[in-house]
């Protein structure tokens, strides 16, 4: 039996159930920090159902917990980022080999709740260090700030776009129209320090189109 198979499909880090149970009571007025991300204040603007937001957070935390339990995946400075949005699961960061990249995918597949997995893990000999990860976080913040400049598109809300950066590659997620996606990509590409923009969108205005 593989390590992924031994993992429970319903396993979830202890202490998170109460926080998730309280989310429907927040009414978008308060933010609760779960897994390093604030949940609550942006729910009122989210196109996802409130239950989907909770399911995404649970999926994200469960997969991340299982990956972090695998010592080979997180040895040294190797780190894998996990982001879930509308059932789409993004894996990015660095791994030491193709086998470990595949292992992370298998771990994610063993957890119920995702409708597709986008594995963008980079195989490298030397992982990013602390300061490079700090630079990635700062780059995400600059991209988010730049999205605020999209003011000519009626109904566009930059808080509906999730921004994740790994090794200067920016991943954009969200439930958006194609017009909104194109505008967001154009803005992100112009931010200094961005080497590449990857779309991991779900679309609201056309069938069968993703990414």
Domain boundaries, the chain: 3-123, 130-203
pLDDT of residue 45: 83
Q: 11: helix, coil or strand? A: coil
Phi-psi region of 93 (alpha: psi -120 to 50; beta: other; left: phi over 0): left
- Per-residue pLDDT, averaged over 83-111, amounts to 98
Is the pLDDT at 155 greater than 50? The verdict is: yes
Inter-residue contact 136 to 106 (CB < 8 Å): no
28-55: per-residue pLDDT in tens?
A: 433 334 444 445 545 668 999 999 999 9
pLDDT of residue 93: 97
CA distance 162 to 140: 9
CA distance 184 to 180: 6
CATH node for 130-203: 3.30.1340.30
Provide the pLDDT confidence category of residue 187 given band limits of 50, 70 and 90: very high
Q: DSSP secondary-structure letter at 194? A: -
Rounded to the nearest integer, the mean pLDDT of the chain is 85
∠ CA 57-43-82, rounded to 5°:
25
Inter-residue contact 197 to 181 (CB < 8 Å): no
Q: 90: helix, coil or strand? A: strand
| Percentage of the chain exceeding pLDDT 90 | 73
pLDDT of residue 9: 45
pLDDT of residue 71: 95
Helix ranges (H only) for 96-177 are 98-109, 130-147
The residue to which tokens 């999730």 are assigned: 162
Phi, psi angles (nearest 5°) of residue 142: -70, -40
Picking from 204, 33, 31, 8, the residue whose alpha carbon sits closest to that of residue 113 is: 8
122-137: per-residue pLDDT in tens?
A: 999 999 898 999 999 9
CA distance 12 to 201: 26
pLDDT of residue 152: 93
158-186: per-residue pLDDT in tens?
A: 999 999 999 999 999 999 999 999 999 99
CA distance 31 to 37: 9
Is the pLDDT at 196 greater than 90? The verdict is: yes
Provide the pLDDT confidence category of residue 10 given band limits of 50, 70 and 90: very low
CA distance 194 to 210: 22
- Full-model pTM: 0.79
């Amino acid at each position: 039996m593989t390590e992924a198979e031994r993992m429970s499909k319903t396993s979830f880090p202890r202490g998170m159930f109460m926080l998730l149970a309280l989310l429907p009571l927040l009414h978008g007025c308060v933010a609760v920090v779960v897994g390093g991300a604030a949940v609550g204040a942006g729910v009122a603007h989210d196109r996802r159902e409130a239950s989907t937001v909770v399911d995404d957070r649970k999926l994200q935390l469960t997969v991340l917990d299982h990956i972090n339990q695998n010592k080979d995946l997180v040895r040294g400075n190797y780190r894998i980022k996990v982001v879930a949005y509308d059932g789409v699961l993004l894996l990015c960061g660095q791994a030491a080999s193709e086998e470990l990249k595949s292992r992370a995918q298998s771990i994610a597949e063993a957890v119920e709740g995702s409708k597709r997995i986008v594995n963008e893990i980079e195989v490298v000999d030397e992982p990013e260090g602390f300061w490079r990860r700090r630079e990635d976080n700062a780059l995400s913040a600059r991209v988010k700030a730049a999205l605020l400049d999209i003011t000519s598109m009626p109904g566009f809300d930059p808080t509906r776009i999730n921004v994740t950066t790994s090794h200067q590659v920016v991943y954009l997620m969200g439930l958006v129209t194609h017009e909104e996606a194109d505008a967001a990509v154009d803005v992100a590409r112009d931010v200094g320090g961005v080497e590449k923009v990857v779309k991991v969108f779900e679309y609201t205005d056309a069938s069968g189109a993703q990414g």
